[in-house]
C-alpha cells in the first residue's frame, strides 16, 4: 500500500508543482495520472522515489515514510519502486540481458555490481521475464539495435526484475506508434495484475488511460481535481481537468442524478459515447 499524504513540491524557481496531494494506492491497483502539461504529473511520480525531493508531506510505502529516509534506507526502499521511463533509459552499448540485469544492481554488493556479476537465479529470472515480454530472441542484442516498443519491453523487464511493490511509470507510450502504445499499456497492466503490483502511470492519452486503468486521477495546477473510475471521465470532468475543449468521443456520456433534474452540465448538448476501441 502506497499512501501519499499532503505532498507538496515547490521548486527553487518558486514553481508550486504540487499543492497538497493526498491519495492512497491499494496493493494491485493500476492508476492512470492525467492532466495538462505542467500539472505536476512527472513531479508527483518522481517525488515518490525521491528523484525529486518533496518540499512537504509524507509518502508511506507499506508504513515507511520515504521522505524521512537517509541514503541507505532510501537505497533499500527504491528496490521496491520499479521505474519505467518514456525514453527507456537503457544502457545503449550493453545487451538486452545486461540491461535487464541492471534492475538487480540495488541488491548485489559493490564488487558484484562493479563487475556486473549476478547470481544465476537472477539470470534465470531475467530470462523468464524476457520470455514474458516477448524478447527471448533478443537476449544478446545490443540495446541500441532495438525498436522503441522493444526498448520499452526491456525497460519493463528491468523494472520487474527489481521485484518491486509499486511501478512508477512516466509516459511509457509517448514515443510509440498507437498500436505499439496499446501493446505496451496492455503488457504493463497485465503484468501488474499477475504480480499484484500497484502502478501509477503518467499518461497523456486519455483513451489509453480509459482503456487500461481501473482508476484515473486528474491533476491540474498541482492539485487533484478528479479521482474516480474511467467511466466517469465525462465532458464536464475533462473540462475540469484540462479546460474548455470539444471532447468528442474522448468523453464518457454525462451522468444525470437519479430521480432529479438533469445535471447542469448535462442540460446542454454534449458529446456522447466513447470508451475507446475494444482491447
Ligand X SMILES: Nc1ncnc2c1ncn2[C@@H]1O[C@H](COP(=O)(O)OP(=O)(O)OP(=O)(O)O)[C@@H](O)[C@H]1O
Count Cα neighbours of 237 within 13 Å in the Cβ-side half-sphere.
22
Piece of 33-41, 95-103, 112-120, 244-252 that binds ligand X (CB under 6 A): 33-41
Q: Which three cell numbers stand for residue 19?
A: 499543492
Decide if residue 120 touches ligand X (CB under 6 A). no
Using CB under 6 A as the binding rule, whether residue 38 contacts ligand X is answered as yes
CB of 111 vs ligand X, minimal distance in Å: 35
Q: Which stretch binds ligand X (CB under 6 A): 22-30, 36-44, 110-118, 225-233?
A: 36-44
Specify the stretch interacting with ligand X by CB under 6 A; choose among 32-40, 68-76, 155-163, 268-276: 32-40
276 lies in the binding site for ligand X (CB under 6 A) = no
Of residues 34 and 143, the one with the C-beta less far from ligand X: 34
Q: Which residue from 7, 21, 25, 42 is in contact with ligand X, where contact means CB under 6 A? A: 42
Strands 30-34, 198-202: pairing is: parallel
State the nearest-atom distance from the C-beta of 200 to ligand X, in Å: 12
Contacts to ligand X from residues 12-31, by CB under 6 A: 13, 15, 17
101 binds ligand X (CB under 6 A): no
DSSP state at residue 234: B
- Extract long-range pairs of 11-16: CB within 8 Å, 24+ residues apart: 16/222
For 160-185, give the secondary structure using H, E and C.
HHCCCCEEEEECCCCCCCHHHHHHHH
Site for ligand X contains 40 (CB under 6 A)? yes
231 binds ligand X (CB under 6 A): no
In whole angstroms, what is the distance from residue 160 CA to residue 188 CA?
A: 10
86 lies in the site for ligand X, by CB under 6 A:
no
Minimal distance, residue 214 CB to ligand X, in Å: 21
- Shortest distance, CB of residue 176 to ligand X, whole angstroms? 16
Residue with cell 506508434: 177
201 scored as a contact of ligand X (CB under 6 A): no
CB 241, min distance to ligand X, A: 11
Q: In whole angstroms, how far apart are CA 121 and each of 50, 192, 209?
A: 29, 22, 35
If binding is defined by CB under 6 A, does position 37 make contact with ligand X? yes
- Ordered DSSP codes for 27-75: TT-EEEEE--TTSSHHHHHHHHTTSS--SEEEEEETTEEGGG--HHHHH
Percentages (nearest 5) of helix, strand, coil residues in the chain: 40, 20, 40
Residues 43-62 interacting with ligand X (rule: CB under 6 A): 43
Which residues make up the interface to ligand X (CB under 6 A)? Answer: 11, 13, 15, 17, 35, 37-43
Amino acid at each position: 500500500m502506497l499512501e501519499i499524504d499532503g505532498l507538496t513540491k515547490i521548486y527553487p524557481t518558486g514553481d508550486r508543482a504540487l499543492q497538497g496531494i493526498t491519495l492512497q494506492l491499494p496493493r494491485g491497483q493500476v492508476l492512470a495520472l492525467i492532466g495538462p502539461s505542467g500539472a505536476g504529473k512527472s513531479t508527483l511520480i518522481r517525488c515518490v522515489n525521491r528523484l525529486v525531493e518533496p518540499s512537504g508531506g509524507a509518502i508511506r510505502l507499506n508504513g515507511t515514510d520515504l521522505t524521512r529516509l537517509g541514503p541507505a534506507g532510501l537505497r533499500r526502499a527504491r528496490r521496491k519502486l520499479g521505474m519505467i521511463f518514456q525514453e527507456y533509459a537503457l544502457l545503449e552499448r550493453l545487451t538486452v540481458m545486461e540491461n535487464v540485469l541492471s534492475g538487480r544492481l540495488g541488491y548485489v554488493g559493490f564488487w558484484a555490481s562493479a563487475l556486473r556479476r549476478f547470481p544465476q537465479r537472477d539470470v534465470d529470472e531475467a530470462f523468464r521475464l524476457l520470455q514474458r515480454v516477448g524478447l527471448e530472441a533478443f537476449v544478446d542484442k545490443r540495446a541500441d539495435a532495438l525498436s522503441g516498443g522493444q526498448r520499452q519491453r526491456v525497460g519493463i523487464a528491468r523494472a520487474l526484475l527489481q521485484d518491486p511493490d509499486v511501478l512508477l511509470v512516466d509516459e511509457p507510450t509517448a514515443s510509440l506508434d498507437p498500436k505499439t502504445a496499446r501493446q505496451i499499456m496492455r503488457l504493463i497492466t497485465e503484468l501488474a495484475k499477475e504480480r499484484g503490483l500497484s502502478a501509477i502511470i503518467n499518461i497523456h492519452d486519455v483513451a489509453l488511460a480509459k482503456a487500461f486503468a481501473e482508476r484515473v486521477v486528474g491533476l491540474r495546477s498541482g492539485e487533484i481535481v478528479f479521482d474516480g473510475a474511467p467511466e466517469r471521465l465525462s465532458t464536464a470532468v475533462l473540462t475540469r481537468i484540462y479546460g474548455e475543449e470539444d471532447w468528442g468521443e474522448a468523453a464518457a456520456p454525462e451522468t444525470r442524478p437519479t430521480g432529479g433534474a438533469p445535471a447542469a452540465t448535462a442540460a446542454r448538448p454534449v458529446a456522447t459515447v466513447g470508451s475507446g476501441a475494444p482491447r
